[in-house]
Chain A
Amino acid sequence: MARKPVAFRTLIVVALVIVLCFLTLPIVAIFVDVSPRELVASLDDPEAREALWLSLRTTLAALAIIVVFGTPAAYLLATREFRGRELVTTLIELPLVLPPAAAGIALLAAFGPEGILGGALADAGIELALTTAAVVVALTFVAAPFYLRQAQAAFAAIDPALLDAARTLGASEARAFVRVAIPCAGPGISAGLALAWGRALGEFGATLMFAGSFSGITQTVPLAIFSEFNRDFPGALALSAVLVAVSAALLLSVKLLGRSPLLGGAQA
């Protein structure tokens, strides 16, 4: 019997089609059910606008924290050999597999009023529970591993000779990091940024448990969708459509930024 390379090719194409349909159908369904006019109208709802604005502020704050601390940490993990590195990497990735509800409980146990650090925080005058700051903490906790993983992989993929070359050309370690490592890891870093931002925008469980759902204070878009869902399905649908559109636009622009020569995202 003759070999049939066609069979395998058909199989992989069919697999892709199934994956694509399954993953995009629900998203398409949102926009089928919501007319553009309803979508615009939903933006007029002050509660929806407040939720959107809160989501934008909290995710940006969380991303800033993640980038500032995560980038050097990922660089260290990627470029230094030390005992227990694997363990550290695994610990950092742990929140990835934590169920959101468990993450919420864990945050309460650590930073809540009765938590391990709760007393110390209260003494320092910091009241986290049920505040906007608590939302940022929850978002940072769940989104950081996405960024760290990508950034670490991107730094590890840099040819070490490039960093050595920078040093022999008179650059300190810090300058080699800023001028060579970050631009060379640009595409990977921005991909990690996009993933972390996406995760933060969609965060629901941990925020609900740790920060609660108070309109204007802790009610981000996903929480607003849930509270609408209990009262008014079309309203929830419209808000979901907005979130999908905003998320897609953000992810797309971050990806494009990563390819721009500004971040050094040249085709290597």
Chain B
Amino acid sequence: MLRASIATTLREFGLEVELEVEAGSCVALVGPSGAGKSTVLRAIAGLHRPEAGRIALDGEVWFDAEVGTDLAPEQRSCGYLFQEYALFPHLSAWRNVAFGLDHLPGDERRARAQAALDRFGVGRLAEQRPTHLSGGERQRVALARALARDPEVLLLDEPLAALDARTAAESGRELSATLARVDVPTVLVTHDFADAALLADSIAVIDRGAIVQRGTAGDLSARPATSFVADFAGAAVLVGRAHRGESGLTVVDLEGGGTITSTDEVSGDVAAAVYPWEVILEPAGTVAEVSAMNHVEGTVASITEIGNRARVGLEIPQPLAAEVTAASIARLGVAPGTRVAATWKATATRLVPR
């Protein structure tokens, strides 16, 4: 269990954040750029010294402002994936990984580094310098480097931001599989709510140095506490089992019942991300004659008004959210307990393996 409470002054505002992360689980800090997310990671790793607070892993105190404890970064066991990966340009891929294995004898370092690269599918690139690697390959080498030391905490700073959209989707799926294997506390920082929803077990939305709301992606999506969270926290996440359906689309049998369709090609246990603003509501019982492939019925669980619109939380029975105008709520007679039909496109359904 990683416990961190961090207070520090940033350029324009104060940062005050408390986090508790269980071993094997991943907490995402989500917020706009400049909200102080990366500073939290840097403080945990010992690269930034907070003015106040305490950081401890299980019983081991890494930082305590009151007592004056402040372990150097090399004394904390953090695997840190930097935003642009920060691979050493003068070292080959395997030497980058071996850099963190200095405590081992020479031949064992080489073998361990090679094994780490193999595990991430980049073993054949061991002799290459980072400049000769693509964005996705760099990310894998960096991840291999961060995990080769068997760190006790994993810190991921915008792991997908440096990649083009296509590579990011693929890397996101791989990262999700990696996180499922890792059994240490993981803190993920991202500005993309969908990435957080798909990779993390719980999400903390951070704005101008403070956490404004915490919860699962579904909670935040269905019941945003503020309009900031509503704008930022989009995707609801539905879990189920995917298989290839007709006409090449992926069909997901949702846990608890119902099926949805996606254009992403994944099979097995998956998580599906759907943005509330992609979802259209209709009275239950209507048969939609539209091109959208997904059409499910559910019960309205909550209605959260945000200015001139409202976030409607549905149980289908998994939680789903739709964002509609206040006028539509009145016209459709939507109220908690009523049955409605939700419609959205297969292309608006992002899948990652679970």
> Which residues in A have some Cβ–Cβ distance to B below 8 Å?
159, 161-162, 164-173, 179-180, 183-184, 186, 261, 264, 266-268
Residue contact A171 to B84, C-beta cutoff 8 Å? no
Residue contact B73 to A266, C-beta cutoff 8 Å? no
Distance (Å) between the CB of B10 and the closest chain A CB? 15
Residue contact A161 to B72, C-beta cutoff 8 Å? no
Distance (Å) between the CB of B145 and the closest chain A CB? 7
Q: Please, which residues of chain B bring their CB within 8 A of the CB of A167?
A: 45-47, 72-74
Smallest CB gap from A186: residue in B: B90
Residue contact A164 to B82, C-beta cutoff 8 Å? yes
Given A268-B89, A268-B131, the answer on whether A171 and B47 have CB atoms closer than 8 Å is no
Residue contact B100 to A170, C-beta cutoff 8 Å? yes
CA distance A172 to B72 in the complex (A): 8
Which of B42, B72, B89, B99 is in CB contact (< 8 Å) with A166? Answer: B99
Q: Please, which residues of chain A bring their CB within 8 A of the CB of B102?
A: 170-171
Query: Within 8 Å of chain A (Cβ to Cβ): is B176?
Result: no
Which of B46, B83, B103 is in CB contact (< 8 Å) with A161? Answer: B83
Which of B73, B87, B88, B89 is in CB contact (< 8 Å) with A168? Answer: B73
Residue contact B46 to A170, C-beta cutoff 8 Å? no
Given A169-B149, A183-B90, the answer on whether A266 and B80 have CB atoms closer than 8 Å is no
Residue contact B86 to A159, C-beta cutoff 8 Å? yes
By DSSP majority rule, is chain B's interface helix, strand, loop, or mixed? loop
CA distance A169 to B142 in the complex (A): 11
Smallest CB gap from B151: residue in A: A168
B interface residue count range (under 10 / 10 to 19 / 20 to 34 / 35 or more): 20 to 34
Smallest CB gap from A171: residue in B: B74
Smallest CB gap from A161: residue in B: B86
CA distance A165 to B89 in the complex (A): 12
4 closest residue pairs by CB, A with B? A169-B100, A264-B90, A167-B73, A161-B86
Given A172-B72, A266-B129, A267-B131, the answer on whether A165 and B80 have CB atoms closer than 8 Å is yes
Residue contact A162 to B86, C-beta cutoff 8 Å? yes
Q: Please, which residues of chain B bring their CB within 8 A of the CB of A183?
A: 88, 90
How many A-B contacts are there with CB distance less than 8 Å? 71
Given A170-B102, A179-B99, the answer on whether A165 and B90 have CB atoms closer than 8 Å is no
CB contact list, B72-121 vs A, under 8 A:
72-74, 76, 78-80, 82-84, 86-90, 99-100, 102-103
Most central of B46, B78, B90, B102 by chain A CB within 10 Å: B90
Residue contact A162 to B88, C-beta cutoff 8 Å? yes
> Can you identify 5 A-B contacts, CB atoms within 8 angstroms?
A164-B73, A168-B78, A172-B74, A183-B90, A268-B131
Residue contact B74 to A165, C-beta cutoff 8 Å? no
Q: Please, which residues of chain A bring their CB within 8 A of the CB of B82?
A: 161, 164-165
Residue contact A168 to B45, C-beta cutoff 8 Å? yes
Most central of A161, A166, A180 by chain B CB within 10 Å: A161
Q: Please, which residues of chain A bring their CB within 8 A of the CB of B84?
A: 159, 161
Smallest CB gap from A267: residue in B: B131
CB contact list, B177-215 vs A, under 8 A:
none
Distance (Å) between the CB of B4 and the closest chain A CB? 16
Q: Please, which residues of chain B bring their CB within 8 A of the CB of A266?
A: 89-90, 129, 131
CA distance A161 to B45 in the complex (A): 13
CA distance A184 to B130 in the complex (A): 13
CB contact list, B41-69 vs A, under 8 A:
42, 45-47
Which of A165, A171, A186 is in CB contact (< 8 Å) with B86? Answer: A165
Q: Please, which residues of chain B bring their CB within 8 A of the CB of A169?
A: 74, 99-100, 145, 149
Smallest CB gap from B142: residue in A: A165
Smallest CB gap from A264: residue in B: B90
Q: Please, which residues of chain A bring their CB within 8 A of the CB of B149?
A: 169-170
Distance (Å) between the CB of A44 and the closest chain B CB? 45
CA distance A159 to B219 in the complex (A): 39
Most central of B42, B78, B88, B146 by chain A CB within 10 Å: B88
